[in-house]
């Protein structure tokens, strides 16, 4: 398992499959080990994440880690706690609007199933509509968020993206931050064996 994972990691890091789609050199970013208890799948790295080479090392990450999960960085970046990946491993570039471009589907098609087949996680956390739509196609996003899901035979929990660009969604669905994330946070803390205050 470790040899297969090490080889897959190297293969992903050296991937330049989407070079023709970007105006910058591809830079795959993911983190964690095969024994991680939680597999977290999001959309794609931000520009700051690409620059720092650290997943969720940005404004969205601050909200995710501090407000939603309520865990420290040393837990989030512990390879035995979280395997952090995305459907697009590289920063896709700036979009026409206020956000980034959508991640190329070919990245997830090429790598994601291979990654997840080698991770011995207990649960999945899926972040954002793009990741949710890839893993649960043609399903209502709000339904996915507010109901427990199953992915590859394991419990899965879908979250909205913690980006500041999502403020409107949070106002429209206050029950997420008031109730749903509290339930999910309790599950995360329980799996990671974190003491509840």
Residue 196 in this model has a pLDDT that exceeds 70: no
Collapsed DSSP state (helix, strand, coil) of residue 158: strand
List pLDDT tens digits, range 136-178.
999 999 999 999 999 999 999 999 999 998 999 999 999 999 9
pTM for the complete prediction?
0.94
What the chain holds in terms of domains, given with CATH numbers, is 2-191 (3.40.470.10)
Q: State the pLDDT confidence band at 1, using cuts at 50, 70 and 90.
A: low
Residue 126: CA count within 13 A, CB half-sphere: 27
Q: Region 107-129: what's the mean pLDDT?
A: 96
pLDDT for 191? 97
Inform me whether the pLDDT recorded for 12 exceeds 70. Answer: yes
Asked if residue 100 lies in contact with residue 108, where contact means CB atoms within 8 angstroms, the answer is no
Give residue-wise pLDDT tens across range 75-92: 999 999 999 999 999 998
Is pLDDT above 90 for 22?
A: no
The answer to whether residues 29 and 45 touch, using CB atoms and an 8 Å cutoff, is yes
- Tell me which residue of 106, 79, 88 sits closest to 46, measured CA to CA: 88
* Dihedral angle, C-alpha 54, 144, 184, 101, nearest 10 °: 20
What tens digit of pLDDT does each residue of 38-71 get? 999 999 998 888 889 899 999 999 999 999 999 9
């Amino acid at each position: 398992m470790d040899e297969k994972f090490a080889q897959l990691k190297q293969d992903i890091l050296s991937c330049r499959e989407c070079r023709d789609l970007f105006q910058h050199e591809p830079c795959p970013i993911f983190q964690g080990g095969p024994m991680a208890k939680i597999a977290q799948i999001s959309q794609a790295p931000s520009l700051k994440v690409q620059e720092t080479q650290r997943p969720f090392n940005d404004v969205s990450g601050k909200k995710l880690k501090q407000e939603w999960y309520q865990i420290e960085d040393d837990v989030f970046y512990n390879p035995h706690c979280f395997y952090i990946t995305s459907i697009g491993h590289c920063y896709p570039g700036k979009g026409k609007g206020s956000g980034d471009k959508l991640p190329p589907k070919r990245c997830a098609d090429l790598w994601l199933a291979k990654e997840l087949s080698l991770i011995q996680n207990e649960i999945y956390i899926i972040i954002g509509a793009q990741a949710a739509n890839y893993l649960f196609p043609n399903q209502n996003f709000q339904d996915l968020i507010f109901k427990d899901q199953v992915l590859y035979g394991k419990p899965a929990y879908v979250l909205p993206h913690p980006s500041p660009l999502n403020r409107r969604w949070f106002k429209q669905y206050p029950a997420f931050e008031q109730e749903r994330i509290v339930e999910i946070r309790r599950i995360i803390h329980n799996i990671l064996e974190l003491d509840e205050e």
